[in-house]
Structure 1
């Protein structure tokens, strides 16, 4: 059972009543199937009504849900023959950004993405998906390999932002992010980025300057977190919900602004409620994008990418 968010409290209460009924009647002679069915229908309707009118802040909470699929889940569900590659050949191997050769529905690709982890131990090991300079330099190395061998690049973006620690700054965080963004734009092979959870700041764009940008319907993508924006504008992060509204962080807003290309539907109640369905939906969207870009040569791909980003913000 999924962990309920604060705004899902009425749904949680209904589900608790259903579970209590089932537990009470377990092994008994009283038929409660009609009562359970009635309550379940009510719960499903409430879930549907809630998720059809989520606010930007509520979508931010859904995008951060710890039970959403992460990089390793997508690799396991969509890619075959995954060969992980490690290290930036300069400092070390950053576990927040993973990648390697793989086969997607029969086609060889390079897949790269942020990994947040699924429990305390793995979240610490993967630094909660916040990449360090060596992570972005590893991504650059993998993109260059893909370019050399003519392999499309698929990136899965899910980070609150690049790691802001002193040691990251000492090792050139800003330069690494800039170089990674530059490498995305310079690729002579198709590049598809998918915002699968949080797309935070430069830590996200460094892996998302792609020909096609896909985004889950409950994901968010922004230059700064709503809390960070609220702290700057109003000197308190208690107005994070107002910041999320103003920043246009949702997939629907960003599609209208031309920042992303495709909104990928999620199962009812978010990707965390049915990870397999979410992974399948993303696979179908990736397949369509790869087919669309497959016939373009290197010059056309670079030109399309350049025109795409230059057009953003044009009125």
Structure 2
């Protein structure tokens, strides 16, 4: 069913898309742009540009069509399962795999593979990410914990919220450091100029990353990062913020970088309390071949 909105400009000023976003919080500016292009947003019964400057008295109609629900199906995709019991699965996600279905990636995701592997996955409110309690980016490799039942989901989500679990990443970054370790405490929110990016912003959500320098090479460094919070793109944004973007990062890094399949970022260590036994479980996996190959090349150039 479509949703219809009728908005009237009173004393507000500025761009059309910003005005609508301030009135309808469920719509991103990217979605608003799509609706304008599809003539589902009209100003005084006329189509206007995204950048149209609203005027007092303007009547704006917004029609939001219902998106087709995602149908999540099981797919026979190989999984690298590190550990599994009656409550949890720990999987080593390969670089290039999306964690759960979304509008741009309806299939071939980790969730599709998990559904083929087992019928025991904790349900999710959205329906399209059963078992998933945290994510890593498509081109980030490494460890994820998956809940097989609601008890496990609640336990793992509480551990994430209380920061009692352990998540340690390896990253190859641009530049060299004077210090051996540090803490980045900078709030993260949506980039005001590019909705596909996150950024350090004053009104963002609290975000804390601890880092340690493991090795330094000519123009690059190998660092470990431990998350205290779990914001979208947190490590990538924080390292770019301090002038050391992750090598290969197409969104936050320079174009002149290490050649690979995306950012050189790997979720190496994952630790948490087993939901039923309260036993501490900790796992560690080596980074993918392309990561170790680039490291070897950097060492050769020293």
- TM-score normalised by L of structure 2: 0.29
Structure with the bigger percentage of helix:
1
The structure having more radius of gyration, on CA atoms, is 2
Q: TM-score, normalised by structure 1?
A: 0.28
Whose strand fraction is larger, Structure 1's or Structure 2's? 2
